[in-house]
Amino acid sequence: MPRKNRQQTRLNGSAISSILIMLTSLLLLSANVLAQTWDAGGDGINVSDPNNWDNDFVPGTSETANFDGTSTTNAAWNSQAPATVNQITIQDSYTGTVYIDKDITVSSSVTLNNTQGTLALSEQLTTPLVNFAAGARLRINVESTVTTNNGLLNIVNGTPAPQGTLIISESIDETSLTLPYTIKIINWPNTPSSNFDDIELPILQDGYNW
């Protein structure tokens, strides 16, 4: 009888150890899934390369794409990158530029804590919330196909409170436009509660003005 009890104890101990290992693995997996930090350890530029993220995992619908200065190199949200991500956060320590080169949806929020780095939109970014910090830098590029949603920030909920600098760049042929021409670069769901501190406009061809 004692021998049987000892065997049962050993079996229970083994089972408990297995459960603890499984729980630890699940906890580590959950932590990895929630936040992915840009480290540019792969090709050094494309968001779609898993080796460019600290956990070698491309952020998607449940994750935050975090740019915190672990690497300050530029990042391109390229055509092979996910179309949906939970959050994008650009920290003050990041000095590069995050280029949005495909239409994406950020389902929770975009946070611009940066004063040195830049979020640059050449395509449409749709999100319910953008958190602008003082000194944030947002660049929107107006391309030659101005009738599409190239370079459009689409905020779908709440009352925006922009701060920092809005930079508008362009690669269009002004002579192809029927003037006056309106270019939409931001969709506000409601009237913003504040204004950008500064707006930088590109120089147009001779004879054209904003």
pTM for this one? 0.81
pLDDT recorded at residue 29:
45
pLDDT one-digit tens code per residue, 20-68: 444 444 444 444 448 899 999 999 999 999 999 999 999 999 999 999 9
pLDDT recorded at residue 202:
84
pLDDT one-digit tens code per residue, 62-93: 999 999 999 999 999 999 999 999 999 999 99
pLDDT recorded at residue 34:
81
pLDDT recorded at residue 149:
57
pLDDT recorded at residue 47:
98
pLDDT recorded at residue 147:
55
Which has more confidence, 176 or 83?
83
pLDDT recorded at residue 173:
73
**DSSP secondary structure of the chain:** -HHHHHHHHHHHHHHHHHHHHHHHHHHHHHHHHHEEEB---SSSSBTT-GGGBTTS----TT-EEEESSSS-S-EEE-TTS-SEEEEEEE-TT--SEEEE-S-EEEEEEEEE--SS-EEEESSEEEES-EEEPTT-EEEEEEES-TTS-TTEEEE-SS-----SEEEEEEE--GGGS-SS-----EE-SS--SS--SEEE-PPPPTT---
pLDDT recorded at residue 184:
84
Q: Which residues pair with 97 in a beta bridge?
A: 118
137-143 vs 124-127, strand pairing mode: unpaired
For residues 167 and 139, the answer to whether their CB atoms sit within 8 Å is yes
Q: What's the chain's average pLDDT?
A: 83
Confidence of residue 172 (pLDDT cuts 50, 70, 90): confident
Which tokens in the block code for residue 193?
A: 């509660």
pLDDT recorded at residue 142:
79
